Amino acid sequence: MTNISLFFATNNVHKVEEVTALLPDFFQIRSLESIGCTEDIPENEPTIAGNAIAKAQYVHDKYMVDVFAEDTGLEVDSLDGEPGVYSARYAGPQRDSIANMRLLLQNLGDKKNRNARFRTCMALIKDGQIHLFEGIVEGTISSELSGKEGFGYDPIFVPAGHSKTFAEMSLKEKSQMSHRARALNKLIEFLSKNPDKRNPQI
Ligand code: ITT
C-alpha cells in the first residue's frame, strides 16, 4: 500500500491521540505546527458536517495542503438533539467540559428517556475534492459523572450494550466502538482505494 500523509485540522490533542492510535502503517498524520498553523481554527457553521468541512477548508485554503478535520456532537433525544453542534459551548464560551456535563444532567433531570448518540463527521479534502464520512455510536446518558479516561462528555456516556461510561474504558476499548473510530475507518477505507495521485512516494 502506498504511504499517505495528511494534515489533521484540529486543536484538540485528545482527538489526535485517538486517531493516531487507530492509523494503519501506511497512513501518517502531519502536524499543523510544521506548516505554522497554530491559530484556533474557526467553526461557526450550524451543522456538524458543515463545521467539519469548514475546519478542513480553512487549512486547505490557507496552507494549500490535503487535510482532514472532524466535528463531533452529542445528541440527546429528550433534549431535542441538544447539545449537538453546540456541544463544545453548551454551558458557555469557556468550553468547560465539566460545566457542559453538569448543565446537560440538569436539563435532562429525571426524564426517563436518556437515549443519546455521539456523531462524528469527518471531512477530507484531497486533490481539491471534499469527501465526508460519518460515524455514530448509540448509548445512554448516565445519572452522574464516572471515570477519568477520555475527554469531553465521556464521563456521562454509556455506549449501548455496555455498563461503563467511555471515561471508564481504556483508549483501546473506546476505539473499538467509538463514533470517531467508525468515521475514521471509512476514511481509511476510502484512502486505501484512492491513493495519492500527485506524490505517490510520500
Ligand atoms: P477541534 O479543534 O477539532 O474543533 P473541539 O474540541 O472544538 O476540537 P468539537 O467541536 O468536535 O471539538 O467537539 C465538540 C464537543 O464534543 C467538545 O466539548 C468535545 O469535548 C466533545 N467531544 C468531542 N469528541 C468527543 C468524544 O470522543 N468523547 C466525548 N466528548 C467529545
**Digit-coded pLDDT (tens) for 69-109:** 999 999 999 999 999 999 999 999 999 999 999 999 999 99
Query: Is 77 one of the catalytic residues?
Result: no
Is residue 42 packed enough to be buried (19+ CB in 10 Å), middle (13-18) or exposed (0-12)? exposed
Q: 135: Cβ below 6 Å to ligand 1?
A: no
Residue 81 Cα to ligand 1 middle (Å): 16
Q: Among positive and negative, which fits the CA dihedral 7, 10, 14, 18?
A: negative
Q: Distance between CA 133 and CA 116 in Å, rounded?
A: 20
Domains in the chain, CATH or no CATH each? 4-193 (3.90.950.10)
What pTM value is reported for the model? Answer: 0.95
Per-residue pLDDT of the chain (202 residues; tens, 9 = 90+): 678 889 999 989 999 999 999 999 989 999 898 899 999 899 999 999 999 999 999 999 999 999 999 999 999 999 999 999 999 999 999 999 999 999 999 999 999 999 999 999 999 999 999 999 999 999 999 999 999 999 999 999 999 999 999 999 999 999 999 999 999 999 999 998 887 665 544 3
- Which of 22, 39, 153 to probe ligand 1 with, by most ligand atoms within 8 A of CB? 153
Q: Distance between CA 186 and CA 178 in Å, rounded?
A: 13
Ligand 1, atom nearest to 55 Cα: 4
Name the active-site residue from 40, 61, 71, 110: 71
Cell of 168: 471508564
Residue 88 Cα to ligand 1 middle (Å): 6
Query: Among residues 60, 64, 63, 56, which one has the least CA distance to residue 187?
Result: 56
Residue 107 Cα to ligand 1 middle (Å): 20
Query: Closest residue (by CA) to atom 5 of ligand 1?
Result: 12
